[in-house]
């Protein structure tokens, strides 16, 4: 059996294997967007072939991090697949290690992600992952209408103000995902599956906060990301977006915000509380000097870091 990295044209077999394993299709547009067209680089995929039959797949998406102000290559693990006829042959370990070796050679600090309940323990046992945290969703019932600040406005597309704010606030935590203009446009504006609403707290020609979200099942609004210069700005935009959502019939607003995130207070003061579902967050570092990589207190995460939102 041949274990090797992705080559152009392999995506046809990858899409076929996806439908075999998960009993649902993956469009070629989505594959190109998620794996090929990331602004930071091309596909990070290792494959297992039995002749001309694709039987195993381990992939990651480019996901650079900002660690102590420095941009460092990292990868988001996703879409692990083994053909049903080939299970029990250690294809997960073999394809993962093939990809990890390539990532080390390319200077990546590590791989991270959100394994589901079925594979969380398996990644720790087989792939030397560390369980960094168990993330509870923060949820708030909209209830009575709140004050809607007139300086919180909705915009249609990502612009350079978003990246400017992300750069200004990247030192609020030790580790956060890179949010430059190209990455935000790729993740939000060019997403072939989800449509998002974008809100800004205006400050002249700049913004003091932004909030990106999407509707889920007509009753929920998921805040996929919020960034703000300070606690007051975070509270203002959060309160306004909850108010706007309530006016549209939304009954619950959801988000991720880790315990050490400075925006956590803004969420909790508005009534957001930890609830199910619980999401596992883990990873594997390739550098012995990156001890903080496995400490959730160092991280800032949002739904936008996951491939599910």
* Rounded Cα–Cα distance for residues 24 and 18 (Å): 7
Q: What digits encode the pLDDT tens for the residues 18-36?
A: 999 999 999 999 999 999 9
- Strands 130-141 and 110-113 turn out to be unpaired
Q: What is the average pLDDT across 75-90?
A: 95
- Strands 206-216 and 220-228 turn out to be antiparallel
3-state secondary structure of 284: strand
Task: List, in sequence order, every beta strand (DSSP E) within 142-242.
Answer: 152-155, 175-177, 197-203, 206-216, 220-228
Q: What is the average pLDDT across 10-23?
A: 97
Task: For residue 287, name the pLDDT band (cuts at 50, 70, 90).
Answer: confident
Domains and CATH numbers, the chain: 2-113 (3.40.630.30), 137-278 (3.40.630.30)
- The pLDDT of residue 145 is above 80: no
DSSP letters along 95-115, please?
HHHHHHHHHHHTT--EEEE--
Write down the pLDDT at residue 143: 82
Phi-psi group of 32: left, alpha or beta (phi > 0 → left; psi -120 to 50 → alpha; rest → beta): alpha
Write down the pLDDT at residue 38: 97
pTM for this one?
Answer: 0.94
Percent residues over pLDDT 90 in the chain: 94
Write down the pLDDT at residue 155: 97
Mean pLDDT rounded to a whole number for the chain? 95
Write down the pLDDT at residue 289: 73
3-state secondary structure of 138: strand
């Amino acid at each position: 059996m041949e274990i090797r990295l992705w080559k152009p044209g392999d995506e046809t077999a990858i899409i076929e294997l996806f439908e075999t394993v998960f009993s649902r299709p993956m469009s070629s547009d989505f594959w190109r967007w998620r794996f090929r067209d990331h602004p930071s680089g091309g596909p990070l995929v290792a494959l297992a072939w039995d002749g001309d039959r694709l039987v195993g797949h381990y992939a990651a998406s480019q996901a650079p991090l900002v660690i102590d102000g420095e941009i460092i290559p990292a990868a988001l693990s996703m879409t692990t697949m083994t053909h049903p006829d080939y299970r029990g042959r250690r294809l997960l370990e073999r394809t993962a290690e093939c990809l990890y070796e390539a990532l080390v050679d390319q200077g990546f600090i590590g791989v991270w992600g959100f394994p589901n309940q079925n594979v969380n323990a398996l990644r720790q046992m087989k792939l030397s992952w560390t369980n960094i945290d168990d993330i509870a969703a923060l949820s708030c019932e909209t209830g009575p209408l709140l004050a809607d600040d007139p300086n919180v406005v909705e915009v249609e597309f990502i612009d350079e103000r978003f990246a400017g704010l992300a750069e200004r606030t990247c030192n609020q935590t030790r580790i956060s995902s890179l949010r430059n203009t190209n990455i935000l446009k790729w993740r939000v504006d060019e997403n072939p599956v989800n449509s998002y609403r974008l809100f800004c707290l205006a400050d002249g020609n700049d913004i003091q906060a932004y909030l990106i979200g999407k509707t889920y099942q007509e009753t929920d609004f998921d805040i996929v990301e919020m960034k703000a210069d300070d606690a007051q700005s975070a509270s203002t935009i959060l309160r306004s977006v909850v108010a706007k959502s309530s006016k549209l019939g939304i009954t619950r607003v959801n988000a991720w915000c880790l315990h050490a995130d400075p925006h956590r207070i803004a969420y909790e003061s508005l009534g957001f509380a930890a609830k199910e579902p619980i999401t596992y967050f883990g990873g594997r570092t390739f550098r012995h000097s990156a001890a903080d990589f496995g400490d959730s207190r160092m991280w800032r995460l949002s739904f936008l870091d996951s491939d599910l939102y």
